[in-house]
Amino acid sequence: MASLSNCLRQNGNRYLGFQMFIDFHTHYDRQSPDRINLQTFHVTTALQEADLPLICSLGLHPWFVDESWEDAWQNLGALASLDKVVAIGECGLDRHIDLPIEVQTVIFQKHLELAESIRKPLVIHCVRAFAELIALKKSSKSSVPWIIHGFHKKMEVFQQLLKHDFYFSFGTAILSDRSPVIQAIANVPDGRFLLETDDRQDISIEQIYDRAATLRQVSLETLQTQLLETYYQLTRLS
């Protein structure tokens, strides 16, 4: 978002007022004044506008899709245009579950058509289906950001996704010295990633930021400023 960049630059190195933590993907309500807490919901027929916090992300998670998913989908369509819904997902492809990949693909394609039509980014859950995901992105010619949440794979997968214009949300995997994702977080270009806690209640987003700042050899304040700018670029598309 140009106006935010200009504003930050005008303030030189003094980014006071912008020192926000952004938890880009969490399943918990952890609102606080210094935090953008993007809570994600698996949509059911029962979910209503009044159940949603100030900002959230909505989708049909492949783990929880059941035979009533088409009714849940109708509800998602009705809620997705609300201003408080800043992203669509998590949704995606998972080769570790019983739901046939063909059914998962149909449901995922509906998400990407919805995201495209209302100009909101896609938050993606992907397990052992990166080749299929890249093929779908190429064939869809989608123009909204595709963000892989909880990315923790090795450099080869990371580089493939980077080449195809994916974005990344890194979580608790970066806390481990042994994770192959250490190299990815150290090398991912500014503007192409965010951070998250996902389903971990025992980990704070502050811990993830501290670790990411160390691995990227930048100050916490610099990282906060960069990620705030990335967040606005990804979530304010029109």
Minimum CB distance to Zn ion smaller for 198 or for 229: 198
d(CA 96, CA 128): 8
Output 118 or 127, the one with its CB closest to Zn ion.
127
Q: Least distance in Å: CB of 202 to Zn ion?
A: 15
C-alpha to C-alpha distance for 25 and 31, rounded to whole angstroms: 13
Q: Please give the full DSSP string across 1-32, using - where no structure is assigned.
A: -HHHHHHHHHTTT--TT---EEEEEESS---B
By CB under 5 A, which span of 7-15, 93-101, 163-171, 196-204 interacts with Zn ion? 196-204
Contact 56/86 with Cβ under 8 angstroms? yes
DSSP label at residue 180: T
Stretch that binds Zn ion, among 6-14, 105-113, 181-189, 193-201 (CB under 5 A): 193-201
> Which of 112, 124 has the CB closer to Zn ion?
124
To Zn ion, the closest distance from the beta carbon of 171 in angstroms equals 9
- For the bound state, the minimum distance from the C-beta of residue 81 to Zn ion, rounded and expressed in Å, comes to 22
For the chain, the straight-line distance linking the first and the last C-alpha, in angstroms and rounded, comes to: 10
Mark the segment that binds Zn ion (CB under 5 A) among 109-117, 179-187, 194-202, 208-216.
Answer: 194-202
Helical ranges in the chain per DSSP H: 2-10, 69-79, 101-118, 130-140, 155-163, 181-187, 205-216, 220-235
Q: Which stretch binds Zn ion (CB under 5 A): 99-107, 129-137, 164-172, 191-199?
A: 191-199
Helix 2-10 and helix 220-235: axis angle, to 10°? 160
CB of 62 closer than 8 Å to CB of 95: no
Q: Give the interface segment with Zn ion, choosing from 99-107, 127-135, 190-198, 203-211 (CB under 5 A).
A: 190-198
Binding residues for Zn ion, rule CB under 5 A, total 1
Instruction: Report the residue from 39, 123, 197, 198 that binds Zn ion according to the rule CB under 5 A.
Output: 198
Which is nearer to Zn ion, 40 or 230 (by Cβ)?
40
Closer by beta carbon to Zn ion, 41 or else 229: 41
In the bound state with Zn ion, the residue whose beta carbon lies nearer, of 59 and 145, is 59
Binding marks (x or -) toward Zn ion, 140..179, rule CB under 5 A? ----------------------------------------
Distance CA 115, CA 99 (A): 23
Q: Which residue is nearest to Zn ion (CB)?
A: 198
Q: Which residues pair with 167 in a beta bridge?
A: 147
Pairing, β 21-26 against β 35-42: parallel
Rule CB under 5 A: which residues touch Zn ion? 198
